[in-house]
Amino acid sequence: MILRAFRLLAFGALISVAELAAGQARVVFTVDATGPTTTISPHIYGVNGGLRPSGLRSIRVGGNRYSGYNWETNHSNAGSDYFHSSDLHLVKGLGPDTPPGEAIRPKMVEAAELGASLVVTVPMAGHVAADIKGNVLETETAPSPRWRAVEARKSSVYPGSELSLTPDESDGYVFTDELVNWVEQTRSPEQTVFYSLGNEPALWDGTHPRLYGTTNPTFAEIGRKSISHASAIKAIAPDALVLGGVTYGWGAMVNLGGAADFDRRVPAPRATPGLHFNRWLLKTLAAEENKRGRPLVEVLDFHWYPEARGGGVRVTFDGVLDNRPEVVAARLQAPRSLWDPSYTEASWITKASTRGEPIRLLRRVQSDIDELKPGAKMAITEYNYGGGNHISGALAQADVLGILGREGVFMAHWWPIERHGDRDFIRAGFEVFTDFDGRGGRFGEASLPTTNSDVEAASVYASQSASRPGEVILVALNKAPHPLEAEVRMTGRATYRAAEVFRLTDSEAALRRVGSLGMGRGNTLRYEMPPYSASTIRLTSAQEGAAE
C-alpha cells in the first residue's frame, strides 16, 4: 500500500498529515469538550509494590501476608504461599527487635513523600503470627501458642485500658483499634490513609488454613466481622474511608467461593447471574449504617485478575509473559469486560457463570451499588493483565486506567506477578497517563465524553484540568497489529490550534515526543497511529495559546 503519510519536519515542529490511500484502516473518535464530565479519582493510579511509575498517587499495604501480620512484632505468616512459615519476611534485612508497625511505616513515609494515599490492611481472619519459628504444623492450627488472637477493640478484653503505641507483645492479643491508633499517630498530618478490611476472605481456608481453619467463611461471618472491625476503625479515625469486601474475583463476588449460606441470601437480581455476595454485603452494611446513623464502609473493594484466554492460555498468571499473537489479542480485548455490553470474552466466567452474556463488571457492580447502597465507591485493589515485558501489557494497562477514570472508579492498585525485569512496559502504560512528557505532564482530573467507531481496534480517552481549561489531553490506543488512521473530531465552542504528540511503541518501554500536529477544518485532527501503540496528545485551544 502506498501512503502519502505525515512527515516529521523537525523535532518539535509541525507534522503535516496528508490523505491516506484508499483501504487504510480507519477509526473515528469524537470528543465533547463541553459535555458532562466524570471526576477522575487520583487514587486509581496506584500499585501494591514492585513498581514505582512516575506520577504514582496511591500505595497499598496488603496481600496474603498481611492477613497474618502482627503489627506489634512484625511477625507474619505466609500461609500456603510458602510452607505456612511464620517469620520476618515483611521486614527483610531487619532483626527481631524492630519497632511496631515496621512493615507499614516505610510505605507510609514513601507515600507521604510522593503525595500519594496509603491503604492499610487490617487483619480480620481471627489470628496473626505469634513467632518467627518457621513452618506452622497442622497440629499447631489456631488457636495455639503459634498465634495471637485478633480482636476489634482493646476494651473488649481490657475494659478501661488506654491504647498504646508500644503494646504488650506477650498478652496473646492484637487489637484493630490499637493498630489504627498507631497509624493515625504515626502518619503525616496531611496524609490520606484508608483502611481495608482483611484480604480475600473467601480464600482464607485455602491460603491460611493454619491461621483460619479449613471451613469456607460464610456471608454471616464476613458481615459480622466487617461491621465489628469497621466500627473499631471509625472510633479512632471517624473521617477515614474504609474498604470492605476485598474479594478475590468473580467467584467470591457471586458466592464467596462457595459459602454455605450464599443461596439463602439476597435473591438474584434481574441480571444473570447476580453478584450475590456483593449484593448481600451492600444491603447488610447499608442496614447497619442506617441503624447507627453513620457510615462504616464507604468503598466496595474487589480484585480482578482477568480470566480471559487466547489460544487456551490465560492472559495473566500462567500466561503473564506469554506474548504469542492469540494471547496478545485476548489481553488487548480483556479490559472491555470491565464495561462493554457488546463484548463477551473467552473464559470460564462467560461459559459457566454468565451463560454467554458479557461480564461488564464495573457497570454491573455500579448497578448493585445504586440499588442497594447509593453513594458507595468502587475499588480494585489488586489487578494484573500480564504482558509486562511486551507492548501489549502497556496497552492493556493504559486501557484499564482510561476505563477506571471514565467509569468513576475510586481506587485501584496494580499487583506484581511478573519478575522485576519484566515490568517495564507496565510502568510505561501508567506513564501514558501519569507522566507522558517526562516533566510531570498527566491526564486531567475530569473525563470528557467520547465516542469511538471501532472499540475492538482502538480506545480513546479525553480529559481536562481546572488549572488549564483551554487544554485537552487525549490518550489514543491502537490495539491492532497494523496502522490506524485516526480522525479526531472535537466538538464544543473552543477552537484548537495544535496537538503535541507523545508516543509509546514496541521499540522501547518509554514515551517519546514525536512532534506536533496541525488541526484541520472543523476542529478535526488526523493522525496515523502506528501498530500496537499508545499516543498521548496535548491539544491546545487558541485561547489557551494566547494566554501563554
Averaged pLDDT in 10-residue chunks for the chain of 548 residues? 30 34 79 95 98 98 99 98 98 91 98 98 99 98 99 98 97 98 98 99 98 97 99 99 98 93 56 72 98 98 99 98 98 99 98 94 97 98 99 99 99 97 98 98 98 98 93 98 98 91 98 94 94 98 59
| CA dist., res. 154 & res. 150, Å (int) | 10
| CA dist., res. 64 & res. 303, Å (int) | 13
Give the number of other CB atoms < 10 A from CB of residue 86: 26
Sign of the dihedral through C-alpha 303, 307, 308, 309: positive
Question: What are residue 46's DSSP bridge partners?
Answer: 58, 413
Which helix (H) or strand (E) segment holds residue 365: the answer is helix 361-372
Q: Look at the block and give the residue holding cell 446513623.
A: 293
Q: What's residue 477's pLDDT? A: 99
Cell of 500: 503535541
Say yes or no: domain 41-434 is CATH 3.20.20.80: yes
* Of 192, 184, 193, 260, the residue nearest 222 (C-alpha): 260
Q: What's residue 21's pLDDT? A: 38
User: Coil, strand or helix: which one is 244?
Assistant: strand
Which amino acid, one-letter code, is at 285? L
| CA dist., res. 526 & res. 18, Å (int) | 9
CA 58 to chain centre: 10
Q: Look at the block and give the residue holding cell 461488564.
A: 360
Question: Checking phi first, is residue 542 left (phi over 0); if not, alpha (psi -120 to 50) or beta?
Answer: alpha
Q: What's residue 493's pLDDT? A: 85
* Helices of type H across 245-306: 250-255, 276-292
- CATH code for the part of the protein at 7-38+445-547: 2.60.40.1180
Burial of residue 75, with CB atoms counted within 10 A of its CB: 0-12 exposed, 13-18 middle, 19 or more buried: buried
Q: What's residue 262's pLDDT? A: 82
| CA dist., res. 224 & res. 205, Å (int) | 18
Domain-by-domain residue ranges, the chain?
Answer: 7-38+445-547, 41-434
Q: Which residues are annotated as catalytic?
A: 200
